[in-house]
Amino acid sequence: MSIKMKIHNIKSIADFEFDIPTNKGLYALTGENASGKSTVISCASTAFYNPLLYSYFGQPYKGSRIEFEYGNKKRSVGSYDNRWIGARGNLGITGFFEGSLVFGNRFKDIDFRLLKKLSQISKSQLEDASPFIRENLGAILHDNKEYYDNLYVMNESCQKKFNLLRTTFYYERNGILINQLNMSTGENLLLSILYSIELRVNRDTYGEEPAFILLDEIELALHSSALRRLVYFLKDLSETHNFVVLFSTHSIELIRSIVPENIYYLQKHVDDSLELINPCYPVYATRNLESSNYGHDYIIMVEDDLSKQIVEKILKQKQLLGNKRVLVISVGGWTQVLRFAYDSIRSNLMIKTTKILIILDRDIKDLVPGFLKDENINFSIKPNYLPIQSVEKFLLQNLIKQVNHELFRELNDYIFQGKSLIDIINTYNNNVKNGIYTDSERINNGKLLYGLLRHELHQIRKEDSDLIELIVEYLFNNKNSEIAELTEFLENQLKSV
């Protein structure tokens, strides 16, 4: 169950809805500059946080409001008579928000006139920082847990003297105490994040509700290596302590570390409306073609990993990779593939000699001409299509509608070695029959069945790629006619360069 958020007349966003995830894990909110990422994540933080609304959102417009629904609980933040009013309602969740430069928690209660006084603090007024903060700060920033062995915090009496709501950190270098206000932006950011996490982790009970960590463009404050180590730290933390970590980000490194199902892409259109694309593949989110210094002779754009594996197997089996550089990339839904391919050509995202080939799932073949016409998109090389509609529809057809005994046996023998495939299928059929599954669209397109199969895969520590590889082998071994058609297309296009 997600937290449903509705935004109306906040900064540049007229109307937008976003289902904030509540399953533990890492998520990314991304998009081009000025698409509204920071505004969306700032709005999301008001689900549990009471920020300085004028500082975050400026003067409200007529009817400015943010509304939340979580089960039977509601919460809203809005304006009246051109003035912001406080939050109403409580969703019963906790969390914190950190902005890398402008917003966040680390300086919210510090008067900068205190800088001189804070610099005059003696070591007797300090205490050792906790091992959790000290070791993780060093590990993330410098890959060295002992780097901040001389990290301290202001003691409670001194903190009260300066009317500070949050503790202030110091570290000692060459006998000199350096207070938090004089530390780097990256150190400040990590201290704030680690301090807030520690408060949560040290609680004896967590309950069923996750805690939320919302982070806005933290890559602006962190080196890429430190960012990677932070991601590993937060991944482990989310699994152990039931955290939902949502990044607003442009970072390629960060987005690559998150599965497409957890990436949300904000697409801003010419009329200023917002479209949310999810799932979203990293290559679409970052517009990064990984072309290297020398580029590629061919870039083949496909929808998902099944498509990628089919194409790569054809290339290898037919020995089409000799004397040329070929990159096969998963982009996302078919409209994303077409738009991305067109944008890549129009915006010169690759070298001029690179050819782009498009291969889509077969179930949308009849929809493509109309879409290209409506979007005014033209390609010199027309899209080609996979031998199956989609992996979800393929499995639905062959395991439920008209059972393919040979495929069923192979999947049961080589993939589903924990809970048997027949038990999984019986569970699915009973849930459909008894009305437990009610989403008719997801039933008909096979996504509910595929979700059940994926869940079992992960239970036995297998990956989607294991299932996809077997399906690809089955298609080739059975000499699928559409495989031959796709093979001919690739053979004709990938001529020696």
pLDDT tens across 231-246, in order?
999 999 998 888 999 9
**Dihedral sign for Cα atoms in the order 110, 116, 117, 118:** positive
The DSSP code sequence of 122-167 is -GGGEEEPPHHHHHHHHHHHHS-TTTTTTEEEE-HHHHHHTT-SS-
pLDDT digits (tens, 9 = 90+) for 290-332: 554 456 888 999 998 878 888 888 888 888 887 778 899 999 8
Rounded Cα distance between 385 and 306, Å, is 12
Rounded Cα distance between 352 and 169, Å, is 53
| 132 band by pLDDT with thresholds 50, 70 and 90 | very high
- The CA-to-CA distance between both ends of the chain, in Å, stands at 52
Q: What is residue 390's three-state secondary structure?
A: coil
Where residue 435 falls (left for φ over 0; alpha for ψ -120 to 50; beta otherwise) is left
Tokens 């806005």 label which residue? 216
pLDDT digits (tens, 9 = 90+) for 387-428: 888 888 899 999 999 999 999 999 999 999 888 999 999 999
How high is the pLDDT of residue 113?
60
Instruction: Look up the pTM and report it.
Output: 0.72
Query: Does residue 27 carry a pLDDT above 90?
Result: yes
Arch. (CATH architecture) of 3-93+209-277: 3-Layer(aba) Sandwich (3.40)
In whole angstroms, what separates CA 186 from the centre of its chain?
A: 22
| 81 band by pLDDT with thresholds 50, 70 and 90 | confident
Q: For residue 157, give every residue at least 6 positions away whose Cβ sits within 8 Å of its Cβ, in sequence order, or none.
A: 125
Rounded Cα distance between 243 and 239, Å, is 7
